[in-house]
């Protein structure tokens, strides 16, 4: 746990626009799930969710591939593993109860070369240890039955993997918050946090908000929000953009389920894959390239501040020196449809260049430590009456209901 000191302003007066018990900063899926869980436990509380954007779920929640992960990749016994397996079960149940469209379409992780087989079997053992339902390794023949247009020597089949539109899930969380008399206030970017004896005043672009307690779930800006109360600078957020192509509509028959590569254990991203969407589209990707802005969804989106912060951060420089070759390969693939297509053809050889239609992009908030390591665990900072969620790593959307319980447990302990 990391502790931070707040910005004390006990003798200053503010023109308060809203005052209540709890303010939650961030209307992504984690922030909304946390607010929902607080009100589920304490419906009498006066609560508001604040967000800088004009609507909820505008960043990572609304730009991901929409996969309900089953929990294969994570270290057995880790919170991430437990949260993913339990979170997937909860997510399916929530979607059924709320009649949110979803599909348990399954997933195959395909090995195309012999040297990938040890890693494939390691994933199988991890998944079994984590309690992923009905995992099994299949041969090339059974792979062809499930995915007639895919190629590989063996594959790991995960029938419990599914898909959903997480914007719809976020809207359902928001509906629950509003039904519990909570408020959602878009257009409230937090600029400063002033701690006083009677709580915290949040200085926002929508006015001054006063709350007895605060939880921040800032996502791509989590480190900057935490530093407003004097929390440690690290871990810092480094943005990585993932670009997708969309499969041409008349070629959708080439993909039935999620098709993934065997991941490289030296890199935290899962490699380009083929993902069905609830609306019938097939997304191809993403790659993983450094974004030039925290909300840099296009190659030409550049923030001088974000670039300066990365350049001055020793952890990023150390990471870049170690991983420059992989980063260059990802960037070349991002700029070359031919390279992107070649990566996909390893798993679906029938794909052609004109099958690929330029699609959407997402930006991942990757936490990074000062030694250049990518942080793959939860990180919190605490100040008086304030809990900062500094890192809620993937698969946060799948696990959001379980993560919310963990965050609120910690939040309640701050008063104990």
Q: What is the pLDDT of residues 345-395, one digit of tens each?
A: 999 999 999 999 999 999 999 999 999 999 988 899 999 999 999 999 889
Q: Using a CB cutoff of 8 Å and minimum separation of 24, what contacts does 134-140 make? A: 134/158, 134/159, 134/160, 135/70, 135/72, 138/108
Percent of the chain past pLDDT 70, that is, above it, reads: 95
Residue 205 pLDDT greater than 80, yes or no: yes
Select from 402, 393, 383 the least CA-distant residue to 8.
Answer: 383
Question: What pLDDT sits at residue 277?
Answer: 98
CA 3 distance to own-chain centroid = 24
Confidence band for 265, pLDDT divided at 50, 70 and 90: low
**CA angle at 310 for the pair 288 and 272, rounded to the nearest 5°:** 5
Question: What pLDDT sits at residue 135?
Answer: 97
Residue 78 pLDDT greater than 70, yes or no: yes
Q: What is the pLDDT of residues 13-64, one digit of tens each?
A: 899 999 999 999 999 999 999 999 999 999 999 999 999 999 999 999 999 9
Confidence band for 233, pLDDT divided at 50, 70 and 90: very high
Residue 206 pLDDT greater than 90, yes or no: yes
Q: What is the pLDDT of residues 104-128, one digit of tens each?
A: 999 999 999 999 999 999 999 999 9
Whether a cis peptide bond, with omega within 30° of 0, leads into 235 is: yes
Q: What is the pLDDT of residues 179-195, one digit of tens each?
A: 999 999 999 999 999 99
Confidence band for 12, pLDDT divided at 50, 70 and 90: confident
Q: What is the pLDDT of residues 308-338, one digit of tens each?
A: 999 999 999 999 999 888 888 888 788 788 9
| Average pLDDT of the chain, as a whole number | 93
Question: What pLDDT sits at residue 332?
Answer: 77
- 8-to-175, 194, 353, 388 alpha-carbon distances in Å: 35, 6, 58, 17
Question: What pLDDT sits at residue 3?
Answer: 33
Q: Assign domain 2-60+167-232+376-413 one CATH number from 3.60.90.10, 3.50.50.60, 3.40.920.10, 3.30.70.100.
A: 3.50.50.60
Question: What pLDDT sits at residue 4?
Answer: 38
Q: Is the pTM of this model over 0.85?
A: yes
Question: What pLDDT sits at residue 336?
Answer: 86
Rounded mean pLDDT, 232-255: 96
Q: Assign domain 236-374 one CATH number from 3.30.70, 1.10.3470, 3.40.50, 3.30.9.
A: 3.30.9
Range with lowest mean pLDDT among 44-53, 56-65, 195-204, 265-274: 265-274
Q: β-strand 7-8 against 190-196: which pairing, if any?
A: parallel
Question: What pLDDT sits at residue 63?
Answer: 95
Rounded mean pLDDT, 149-155: 98
Confidence band for 402, pLDDT divided at 50, 70 and 90: very high
Question: What pLDDT sits at residue 100?
Answer: 98
Domain boundaries, the chain: 2-60+167-232+376-413, 236-374
């Amino acid at each position: 746990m990391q502790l931070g000191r707040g910005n004390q302003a006990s003798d200053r007066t503010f023109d308060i626009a809203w005052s209540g018990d709890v303010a939650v900063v961030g209307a992504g899926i984690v922030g909304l799930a946390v607010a929902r869980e607080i009100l589920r436990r304490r419906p009498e509380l006066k609560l508001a969710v604040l967000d800088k954007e004009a609507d909820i779920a505008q960043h990572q929640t609304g730009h991901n591939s929409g996969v309900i992960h089953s929990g294969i990749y994570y270290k057995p016994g880790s919170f991430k593993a437990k949260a993913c397996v339990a979170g997937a079960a909860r997510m399916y149940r929530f979607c059924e109860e709320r009649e949110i469209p979803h599909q348990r379409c399954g997933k195959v992780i395909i090995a195309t070369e012999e040297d990938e087989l040890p890693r494939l079997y390691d994933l199988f053992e991890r998944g079994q240890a984590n309690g992923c339902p009905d995992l099994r390794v299949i041969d090339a023949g059974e792979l062809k039955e499930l995915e007639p247009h895919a190629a590989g020597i063996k594959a790991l089949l995960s029938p419990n993997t599914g898909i959903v539109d997480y914007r719809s899930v976020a809207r359902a969380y928001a509906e629950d918050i509003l039904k519990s008399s909570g408020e959602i206030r878009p257009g409230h970017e937090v600029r400063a946090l002033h701690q006083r004896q009677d709580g915290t005043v949040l200085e926002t672009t929508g006015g001054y908000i006063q709350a007895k307690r605060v939880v921040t779930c800032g996502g791509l800006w989590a480190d900057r929000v935490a530093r407003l109360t004097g929390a440690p600078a690290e871990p810092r957020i480094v943005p990585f953009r993932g670009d997708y192509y969309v499969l041409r509509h008349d070629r959708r028959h080439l993909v039935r389920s999620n098709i993934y590569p065997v991941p490289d254990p030296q890199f935290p991203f899962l490699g380009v894959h083929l993902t069905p969407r609830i609306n019938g589209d097939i997304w191809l990707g993403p790659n993983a390239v450094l974004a030039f802005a925290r909300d840099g969804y296009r190659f030409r989106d550049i923030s001088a501040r974000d670039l300066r912060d990365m350049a001055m951060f020793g952890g990023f420089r150390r990471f870049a020196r170690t991983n420059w070759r992989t980063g260059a390969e990802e960037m070349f693939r991002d700029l070359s449809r031919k390279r992107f297509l070649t990566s996909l053809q390893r798993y679906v050889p029938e794909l052609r260049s004109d099958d690929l239609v330029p699609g959407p992009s997402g930006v991942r908030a990757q936490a990074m430590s000062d030694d250049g390591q990518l942080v793959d665990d939860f990180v919190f900072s605490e100040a008086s009456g304030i809990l900062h969620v500094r890192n809620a790593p993937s698969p946060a959307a799948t696990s959001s209901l379980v993560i919310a319980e963990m965050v609120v447990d910690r939040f309640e302990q701050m008063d104990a």
